[in-house]
Amino acid sequence: MATYFDIGANDGDSTLHFARAGHTVWAFEPHPGFCDMIRSKSAGLTNYTLVPKAVSDFDGQADFHVYSSEDCSSLAPTVPGHESRWPHMRRGSMDTLGTIRVEVTTLSTFMRENRIRRVDWLHCDAQGHDLRVLRGLGDCLCTVAAGVVECVSSPEVALYEGHCHRDEVVGWLESVGLRVDSVANNDPRGHCGPEYEVNVFFSNPRFGRC
């Protein structure tokens, strides 16, 4: 059976089916409301573990920004003028409801503490913070076989401060010896208009050998 990491698990729907199929899932989600949803949906699944923390490139605590559209909540604040960059977004959906203090972990710390020696698939949707999540793998990078990272297509459509973009993510992945297998539009049906977000799929040629 495989091991899945779901970073920014939201309500859990993206990986619950893997646990139901017998695989091991570690779901990272700091938003209290979504944590409650995950606990309800995963009840009885002993191979699905909720980790109620944010993930980044440091260990400690940080302010987590909760927005009106709660699935867009992030460790990162929005950039000034983001409304003009995302004209399709419902007005007021990125209004700040407040901030909450959350626990933050790096993946390298978490993997060492929990003696996790391999991750077969890493799904990262950390609302602009994704490259910092990857950097937090540190020397555990070689234990990740493959995955997908969500980012914006260019700096011009950044929604959050420090929002990682396609060229930045691709460049980092290649610089650490990972293979970029494909880049796909994250909105193939065009609900958001032009291409704003993309998924970068990668694999690790050195998996288990470094």
Q: How far apart are CA 16 and CA 9, in angstroms?
A: 10
Superfamily of domain 3-203: Vaccinia Virus protein VP39 (3.40.50.150)
Q: What pTM was computed for the model?
A: 0.93
Sequential pLDDT tens for the chain (210 residues): 899 999 999 999 999 999 999 999 999 999 999 999 999 999 999 999 999 999 999 999 999 999 998 889 999 999 888 777 777 777 777 888 899 999 999 999 999 999 999 999 999 999 999 999 999 999 999 999 999 999 999 998 899 999 999 999 999 999 999 999 999 987 655 545 557 889 999 999 999 776
Domain boundaries defined on the chain = 3-203
- For 146, the token pair is 């493959």
Q: How far apart are CA 210 and CA 1, in angstroms?
A: 22
Q: How far apart are CA 174 and CA 183, in angstroms?
A: 13
Tell me what pLDDT residue 210 has. Answer: 63
Nearest CA to 35 among 58, 65, 67, 8? Answer: 8
Question: In this structure, what DSSP letter does residue 120 have?
Answer: S
Question: In this structure, what DSSP letter does residue 22 have?
Answer: T
Backbone angles phi, psi at 41, to 5 degrees: -70, -30
Tell me what pLDDT residue 116 has. Answer: 97
- For 168, the token pair is 């930045």
- For 39, the token pair is 């606990």
Q: CB–CB of 125/7 below 8 Å?
A: yes
